[in-house]
Amino acid sequence: MIKMSDADSENLPFDTADQDGSASVVSPGEAALVNAARNGDREAFGQLYQRYERRVTRVIRRFVPDIELASDLAQESFLRAWERLDQFDTSRRFGPWLFRLAVNLTYDSLRRIKRRGRWSVFSDLGEGSVPEPARADQRTDRDLAQEVHAVMEQVPEAYRIVLVLRDLEGFCTSEVAAITDRSEATIRWRLAEARRLFKEAWERRERSIEETKL
């Protein structure tokens, strides 16, 4: 099964430089950077880019199997953020707004690609992209990761986004709510439903594997 996170308090906040295991520090000057960028300061926006680029790209990679496309989408996300800074509500946090742009842009791209039938949303991702299933299996880790993604694709989009952001990327409930522009109560309900749907789909996959062995 997919690895689920248990406590919101274990997650790092949006205003951290990165979450790749290195020491992360809170960025108290982010609001000033945003305000400066809104006034046309490209250097200030460049600092915001440096703080968020790695994680934005990583989040997009949860949905996109092509590394180059994921990188392109990340760049376009920042371009859109720069172009729409005048629409940003400065009473809110910059991180959720930026990730909302990135996720929406990514899904718009995936819908276009799926209509053209180029590839499945959750296929051929790199090794280690998702937590491996806890159950022992004779196949390679890469095969299992691909199967996790295949199962994830069976979860409806609205629930899948919550599952990826909350359980794979470790955003807390309030952050997922901010990214998706939904209430925390809605996110908690969707997360419970997403986990149920994933569990059922995974169990169907397990039964199918057992049947092929008979």
Confirm whether 73 is domain-assigned: yes
Q: How far is CA 100 from CA 25, 96, 97, 213, in A?
A: 22, 6, 5, 44
Confirm whether 167 is domain-assigned: yes
Confirm whether 93 is domain-assigned: yes
Confirm whether 107 is domain-assigned: yes
Confirm whether 193 is domain-assigned: yes
- Residues with Cβ within 8 Å of residue 149, at least 6 apart in sequence: 120, 121, 122, 123, 125, 129, 130
Question: φ and ψ at 89, to 5 degrees?
Answer: -80, 105
> Would you state the structure tokens that stand for residue 39, as one six-digit string?
């006034």
Confirm whether 2 is domain-assigned: no
Q: What CATH number is attached to the domain comprising 149?
A: 1.10.1740.10
SS3 4: coil
Burial class (CB in 10 A: 0-12, 13-18, 19+), 91: exposed
pTM of the model: 0.72
Q: What is the pLDDT of residues 93-152, one digit of tens each?
A: 999 999 999 999 999 988 887 776 654 444 333 333 334 444 444 445 556 667 777 788
> Which amino acid does the sequence have at 153?
E
User: Domain range spanning residue 28?
Assistant: 8-130+139-213
- Residues with Cβ within 8 Å of residue 12, at least 6 apart in sequence: 19, 24, 170
pLDDT tens digits in sequence order for the chain, 214 residues long:
444 443 333 344 554 444 443 333 334 589 999 999 999 999 999 999 999 999 999 999 988 878 899 999 999 999 999 999 999 998 889 999 999 999 999 999 888 877 766 544 443 333 333 344 444 444 455 566 677 777 888 899 899 999 999 998 999 999 999 999 999 999 999 999 999 999 998 888 888 777 777 6
Place of tokens 């006034």: 39
CA atoms within 13 A on the CB side of 97: 17
Confirm whether 3 is domain-assigned: no
Please answer whether residues 22 and 66 qualify as being in contact, where contact means their C-beta atoms are separated by less than 8 angstroms: no
Burial class (CB in 10 A: 0-12, 13-18, 19+), 128: exposed
Count of domains for the chain: 1
Confirm whether 48 is domain-assigned: yes
